[in-house]
Amino acid sequence: MRDLSPSKWGKDMQIAVVAGRFNRFIVDQLVKGAQDAMSRHGISEARISMAWVPGAFELPLLASQFAASGKYDAVIALGAVIRGGTPHFDFVAGECASGLMRVSLDHGIPVTFGVLTTDTVEQALERAGTGEGNKGFDAAMTAIEMVATMREVKSHLTGLPGG
């Protein structure tokens, strides 16, 4: 019997996860959230590659390396940038976001933004909870939806005259 349940949507997807070690106690929760979303959608451990980098600033470079390999359908980037009085905040958060978007557009695959940017540790912890209250979970769900949508659009476009 063919299993058509939503839990199988991701079964043939190959995903890379990149995570920043800075504020690791929070990022660990985002990683768990992303793993939960992927397992709910049938993406086995064997189809997931993962690499840690020192902080959010380094995420775009690793995301780019995975994307350039052509072996992954999407990259999920996870990190926690907390203002907490650091003048670094705007540079780290801004360069991380724009770098990840650049990787996505340059390589034509989804690179999802599971990077918390908050004023306080408390706010970050609120967004790194279980299930839907977890930005890592959301970033993985977005990656799965985007891969599925891009596949649909691709098959639609190839079905058009001249496609």
- Out of 13, 15, 20, 29, which residue is the one contacting ligand INI (CB under 6 A)? 20
State which of positions 100-119 bind ligand INI (CB under 6 A): none
Q: How much is the CA Rg of the chain, to the nearest whole Å?
A: 16
Q: How far is the CB of 55 from ligand INI (least distance, A)?
A: 2
CA distances from 94 to 43, 52, 71, 152 (A): 31, 20, 27, 32
**Torsional class of 23: left (φ above 0), alpha (ψ -120 to 50), beta (otherwise):** left
- Out of 10, 42, 60, 79, which residue is the one contacting ligand INI (CB under 6 A)? 79
Site stretch for ligand INI (CB under 6 A), options 37-45, 62-70, 82-90, 140-148: 82-90
Helix, strand counts (H, E) of the chain:
5, 4
**94 lies in the binding site for ligand INI (CB under 6 A):** no
**86 lies in the binding site for ligand INI (CB under 6 A):** yes
How many chain residues touch ligand INI (CB under 6 A)? 15
CA distance 6 to 24: 32
Beta strands per DSSP E along the chain: 15-20, 48-53, 74-82, 111-118
Q: Which lies closer to ligand INI via its Cβ, residue 22 or residue 137?
A: 22
**139 lies in the binding site for ligand INI (CB under 6 A):** no
State which of positions 29-68 bind ligand INI (CB under 6 A): 54-58
- Cα angle: 161, vertex 152, 69; to 5 degrees: 105
Asked if 88 is an active-site residue, the reply is yes
Residue 163: DSSP 8-state: -
Q: How far is the CB of 130 from ligand INI (least distance, A)?
A: 22
Q: Which lies closer to ligand INI via its Cβ, residue 26 or residue 147?
A: 26
Active site residues: 88
